[in-house]
Structure 1
Amino acid sequence: MIVSVPRLLIISLAAIFSAYHLVLAVVSIDVPHQKAPYIAAMVLYGLATLLSLLLSRTQRMPTWVAAFNVAVAVVVPLLVTSQFDQAEAKGTYAAWHTAAIGTLMVITSTRRRHTFAWIGTAALVVQTVAWAGPGGLVAYGVIGSVGWVAVSQALSLSLAKAGRDTRQYALAEREAVEWRAAQEAHVSERQFRLGQTSRMSLPMLRQIVAVGGELTDSQRLECLYLEGAIRDEIRGRKLLNDRVREQIMIARRNGTIVTLLDEGGIDDLSDADLERVLNRLADAIRDTKTGKLIARTVPEGSDIAVTVVGLSSFDEGHSSALGSQGIDDEEDRVDLWLEIPRTGVTVSA
């Protein structure tokens, strides 16, 4: 379980911690020789903190804000330490800027501007060594500031990686759910088709068993018609209703080769529109006298739901009664070109 910490709470805690440094600066305001540079440093730090905490709702800090923070990390120590020497700062909080700049750089690093944070931290280290010597790094807490920036970067990188991993796991889980749903749909569809095929073929299979496989010519032809009907259930899918099935069987008995191809183009139709399209298809099959009839769904995005093509062969229909010759045969003559729209008026030729 992932626990989300409110953004306002984080900003409030950071603001309180940052304001604490300004309180220390106010407490020690009598130490500097001149108040104006000291107060200017406080104002710059406060402004940089407000910009860093409040500006932009994205996790990554704007570049110009990060650059401004680096400038503050350079200018504030100079303004503060120029007003007193190291001896005067002992026993007071006049050197508040070391922890303050460290806090500002931690905020900069947390908001994924690690390079800017380390540049500002390096400037603080150099300025402190120049002002108080190497011992000042310990005496004024600069080492702690460096450590907190390092910890901030490590935590920021870890959280970023955890966020990426979480998104990947969520994506994998969603894909797994979709795959399972697809598999269950395939299983359901397969069971439905198998059940339907069994119901259609069982009477003929029983008849074949009853006569010991010795079928008459008419019975063999009925088997071919049954085979075509089963093929329609597999390849035709939503192109079938009771009227279409009836007209296809009548057409086949009259010698017409019928091919149905449902490629998913009408899956999004409402029940009413689908029924209208199928009834128009049934009428087209009933009214067309041709050698071959091909009905195919049109991909989604088109205004047309189904195209129906009727072809006559110059070979007087001596091809296989259940063959699935395409419409590209140069010897075929087009008897019918029908476009059944998803809605609107049917276009035919």
Structure 2
Amino acid sequence: MSGRTLAGFFRLDEWPGRVILALFTLSNTVNTLATLNAVRSPVAAVAALILATAGAVLLLLPTRSSRYPRAAAYAVVLIVVGLSLASWNLPASGWPGWASWNWFASTLLLIVLVLRGRVLAAWIGFALHVLLVFGWVAQAGRPLIQGVEFVVHHAVLLVVFTVFSSVLRRTMRSIAQVEQAHLELVSSRAWADAAAGAREERVARVTLAAGDLLEILSADTPLTDQHQRECLLAEATIRDVLRGGVLASDDVLAAARDARLRHVTVQLLDDGGPSRPDGGDLERMHEAACAALERADDGTLTIRRLPPGRPQLATIRLATAGRAERLDVPARTPQRDVAAT
């Protein structure tokens, strides 16, 4: 279970819970054995011991949900009712002493039920416990004030733990909200840093592609035909960097430049969103793009990374005057589909 619940906070379904179960069972066993001569039926006392142990085991079992199951909670309430019925096994007169261990065991079970988040069930169980204890007091002919004495200390314990659990739950919710806000802040900063890094990388690649030409343009000297061709190639490279995204590796940009020198119209399009493919997929896309660029001699070559969720990572289409060729780059197994028109 999650550490954000009280059961997870106190590690009730881990080794601390098992230690509590062992101590609870040991204490009840000692009290039972020590008072067998004081109760009306030793068999009933042993049965109450088994019932209390079963309740503790049920409460400390791990659950799939962060909330303790309602059916299990009311099963614990029934166990508390059974332990309260053991009051009729106590002496009809005198102070019951350690023989009344079943009352404290019932309260401990209900306290754990509160920590498990089933406060209403716990108080229903305690109300039934009080009714049964007062019923035994009345049947045994004891003064009703003794019934108050028998339950008041346990009621105070349950109130304290109910208030404590409520305050602690609110505190844990506040801590969780602060942690979530911190995580969101860290995530937003990470995204901002990643975006800034991507912008710096693009600026550096644009500068590399057009730096010399910018110096020539700023020198106010006449442009030659070669300069004009270089400007067109630089403009195309910048467009590849901006629109090509993860497709625009150095090798792909170099192959695209060479293809354009052969009069091939090249388009790099990254429609895959902000997610980045893993290294193997990215490498296969780059290899397929470079191979297609090196083969192309004319026409229009469009290399497009597809949105997530498609069976293909990318498509490569070469359209010429005589035919159209398509190459799909699947996420796992390369497969070529060629259609001639």
2:266 to 247, 258, 269: 258
User: CA offsets, 1:219-263, max 9 Å, x none?
Assistant: 445433322221112212443456654554455456654322123
Residue 123 of structure 1 aligns with which residue? 128
Residue 268 of structure 2 aligns with an amino acid whose one-letter code is: L
Aligned length: 319
The 5 Å alignment of 1:227-306 reads 227-240=235-248, 244-246=252-254, 248-249=256-257, 252=260, 257-264=265-272, 267-270=277-280, 273-284=284-295, 286-287=296-297, 289-290=298-299, 292-300=300-308, 301-303=310-312, 305-306=314-315
Deviation, structure 1 residue 129: 2.9
Distance in 1, matches of 2:29 and 2:187, equals 55
Offset of residue 282 of structure 1: 1.3
Instruction: Evaluate the alpha carbon distance shift between residue 22 and residue 264 of structure 1 in structure 2; reply closer, same or farther with a 3 A threshold.
Output: same
Following superposition, the deviation at residue 147 of structure 1 comes to: 1.9
Q: 2:36 matched to 1:29?
A: yes
SS at match of 2:117: coil
What is the aligned counterpart of 2:109 among 100, 104, 112? 104
Gaps of 5+ in 1: 313-333
Supply the AA of the counterpart residue of 2:314: A
- Structure 1, residues 94-141: CA drift from partner, whole Å, max 9, x if none? 33333232222222222232222111211122223331454224432x
Question: CA–CA distance in 1 between the matches of 2:16 and 2:317?
Answer: 66
Amino acid at match of 1:310: A
Is the contact between residue 241 and residue 278 of structure 1 (CA under 8 Å) also seen in structure 2? no
Q: Which residue of 1 aligns with 2:51?
A: 44
* The structure with more helix, counted as a fraction of residues: 2
Deviation at 1:166, TM superposition (A): 4.9
User: Alignment partner of 1:348: what SS?
Assistant: coil
Q: Deviations over 1:21-50 (max 9, x none)?
A: 453344333333444444433443343334
d(CA) in 2 for partners of 1:248 and 1:50? 70
| Aligned pair partner of 1:346 in 322, 336, 339 | 336
2:61 matches 1:69:
no
Q: For structure 2, which runs of at least 5 residues remain unmatched after alignment? A: none
- Residue 198 of structure 2 is matched in structure 1 by 189
Match of 1:113 in 2: 118
Structure 2 CA distance for aligned equivalents of residues 8 and 209 of structure 1: 75
> What does residue range 4-23 of structure 1 map to in structure 2 within 5 Å?
7-17=14-24, 19-23=26-30
Q: Give 1:302 shift.
A: 2.5
Distance 1:227 1:39, change over 3 A: closer
CA distance in 1, matches of 2:144, 2:170: 36
SS where residue 89 of structure 1 aligns?
Answer: coil
Q: Which region of structure 1 is more displaced relative to structure 2, 70-79 or 241-250?
A: 241-250
- Going from structure 1 to structure 2, the CA distance change for 1:46 and 1:303 (only over 3 Å counts) comes to closer
Q: Which moved more, 1:38-47 or 1:273-282?
A: 38-47
- Inter-partner Cα distance in structure 2 for 1:279 and 1:98: 80
Amino acid at match of 2:294: D
What pairs with 1:87-236 in structure 2 (closer than 5 Å)? 88-90=93-95, 92-130=97-135, 131=137, 132-140=142-150, 142-212=151-221, 214-215=222-223, 219-220=227-228, 222-236=230-244
Distance 1:145 1:113 in 2: 18
Q: For 1:32, what is the secondary structure of its paired residue?
A: coil
Asked whether the equivalents of residues 259 and 293 of structure 2 are also in contact (C-alpha less than 8 Å), the reply is no
SS of alignment partner, residue 91 of structure 2: coil
The amino acid across from 1:338 in the alignment is: R
Alignment RMSD? 3.6
**Aligned-partner residue type, residue 324 of structure 2:** L
Contact 1:109 1:153 in 2 (8 A): yes
The answer to whether the Cα contact below 8 Å between 1:201 and 1:226 also exists between their aligned partners in 2 is yes
- Which one has a bigger Cα radius of gyration? 1
Change (3 A) 1:69 1:258: closer
Report the secondary structure of 2:98's partner residue: coil
Distance 2:234 2:83 in 1: 91
